[in-house]
Amino acid sequence: MILNIKLKNYRSYKDEVIYTLEASSSKAKDFNYFEINDFKVLKTSLMYGANASGKSNIVRAFFELRNLIIKKPAVDDSLLIYDPFKFNKETNTSPVEITIEFLIDSIKYKYVTKIEHKNVLEESLCYYPQKREVVLFERHTETDKNIQKGFLGDKFGKKEITVFKNQLLLSKFGVDEPHEVISDVYLYFKKMYVYNTTNKIHYELLNDKVSEDLLENETLKFKLEKLINYADTKITGININKKGESPERKIDYLWKKSDFYISGVHDLYDGNNLIGTTNLSLLEESVGTQSLFVLGAKIIEALEDGSVLIIDELDTSLHSFITKMIVMLFQDPDINKNRAQLIFTTHDISLLDKDLIRKDQVWITEKSEKGETDLYSLQDFENLREDTSFDKWYLSGKFGGVPQIKSLKEFF
């Protein structure tokens, strides 16, 4: 489970910010957090803010960090994660710094990276098995050399491991260097899933992955059918057929070039009499249904695996009742038994429901005139009570994070 992520000089985050999922001391809505040893960890966390205020950059940081760990760049490749704050001369060539703290099997871990254009300047991984810090590995950087050295901690014999200057040492423990503790950290990031609902490429690639998984896993297919049906789509089942192999497949609008043909099963009537079923191509279903198809499978997998699901623009094409249903799935103690987490950005004001969420679950992004993003939680408002109408306060601008729209008369 994610405890927090700290960003400095990453995209719109010029100065250091901390986004945390550690719950406050409040006992309000205790079904919204897990108690794990000395930690209280939120099951869900929501980010609000005006367009271009920087909320998606939190999601992007998770995405780029996971990608850099799982997919090692070739020697001397530029690093996509290196995206510093560009609107200040002091920072536009400075390193990006990311620190992430998380739990695996109730033990806290801390992973630190400091990155520039083609170099990993700093990297370390520690854990706290007896509440005391134990170094798992560190690296020493010499920026003028393509090959750098990392070392396991004292407890693990200070073994030397070589790595290219633009690759993470952590990546080695998923392929080349099996290790009883560190390889579990690699797997933790591999199981994490980050999804941008508005990105056409994400959408299509996830569709094919979900389709393949459903063909191989009847249980997953059955659960996804139930989820889609419970969302009142009128779909009673899903049919998936694999098309012929097409190695030159190009990514196109939705699933036109997909390797799979997907259809929803609907009831067929003769007048008022139910006489059977008929199929409707997923391309002809609503965009919301198409979104729920790919997203629903990842939701089910996260709940069953106890993994982290991070979504940009969760409410895209989904009715407010559906987004609320998804949040409730993660917050229900009878459903979320494996410590799964949902982190997402949204513009859906209906989720600011005082009966659904706590103050510490809601985060706001606001961008200054200089292009810098400020990140804060409703927990930071000292006089705000848990039974306050969060939605009304947000819409009235009391929390910030809403667009400041100028008079339209000036425009015309």
What CATH number should be reported for the domain holding residue 376?
3.40.50
| Domain count along the chain | 2
CA distance 131 to 123: 21
- What secondary structure letter does DSSP report for 255? T
Same domain for 262 and 316, yes or no, is no
Pairing verdict, β 308-312 and 96-104: unpaired
Reduced to 3 states (helix: H, G, I; strand: E, B; else coil), residue 35 is strand
Same domain for 136 and 35, yes or no, is yes
Same domain for 31 and 155, yes or no, is yes
Higher pLDDT, 340 or 289: 340
CA torsion 332-205-85-148 (nearest 10°) is 100
Same domain for 15 and 104, yes or no, is yes
Same domain for 244 and 316, yes or no, is no
**Which band of pLDDT confidence, cut at 50, 70 and 90, is reported for residue 253?**
very low
Residue 405 has pLDDT above 80, yes or no: no
| Rounded (5°) CA angle 333-341-335 | 25
Give the residue numbers spanning the domain of 272. Answer: 200-291
Contact predicate 362/46, CB 8 Å: yes
User: Which among 343, 268, 394, 327 is positioned nearest to 32, based on CA atoms?
Assistant: 327
Residues 328-362: tens digit of each pLDDT = 999 999 999 999 999 999 999 999 999 999 999 99
Q: Which of 257, 291, 325 is the last residue of a domain?
A: 291
**Which band of pLDDT confidence, cut at 50, 70 and 90, is reported for residue 273?**
very high
Q: How far is CA 163 from CA 68, 113, 117, 180, in A?
A: 14, 15, 17, 20
**Which band of pLDDT confidence, cut at 50, 70 and 90, is reported for residue 272?**
very high
Contact predicate 1/21, CB 8 Å: yes
Residue 360 lies in a domain: yes
pLDDT at 250: 40
CA distance 93 to 86: 8
Contact predicate 102/188, CB 8 Å: yes
**Which band of pLDDT confidence, cut at 50, 70 and 90, is reported for residue 387?**
confident
Residue 247 has pLDDT above 70, yes or no: no
Contact predicate 108/126, CB 8 Å: no
Same domain for 282 and 326, yes or no, is no
Residue 254 has pLDDT above 50, yes or no: no
Contact predicate 310/21, CB 8 Å: no
For the chain, the average pLDDT equals: 90
Same domain for 188 and 209, yes or no, is no
**Which band of pLDDT confidence, cut at 50, 70 and 90, is reported for residue 209?**
confident
SS (H, E, C) 258-306: CCEEEEEEEEEEECCEEEEEEEEEHHHCCHHHHHHHHHHHHHHHHHHHC
Residues 118-149: tens digit of each pLDDT = 999 999 999 999 889 999 999 977 767 889 99
Contact predicate 38/28, CB 8 Å: no
pLDDT at 319: 87
- What secondary structure letter does DSSP report for 22? B
Q: How far is CA 286 from CA 211, 230, 234, 312, in A?
A: 18, 16, 11, 20
pLDDT at 68: 96
Residue 405 lies in a domain: no
**Which band of pLDDT confidence, cut at 50, 70 and 90, is reported for residue 248?**
very low
Same domain for 164 and 244, yes or no, is no
Same domain for 188 and 53, yes or no, is yes
CA distance 38 to 130: 12
Contact predicate 20/376, CB 8 Å: no
Same domain for 131 and 160, yes or no, is yes
Residue 301 lies in a domain: no
pLDDT at 256: 47
Same domain for 225 and 127, yes or no, is no
CA distance 160 to 149: 7
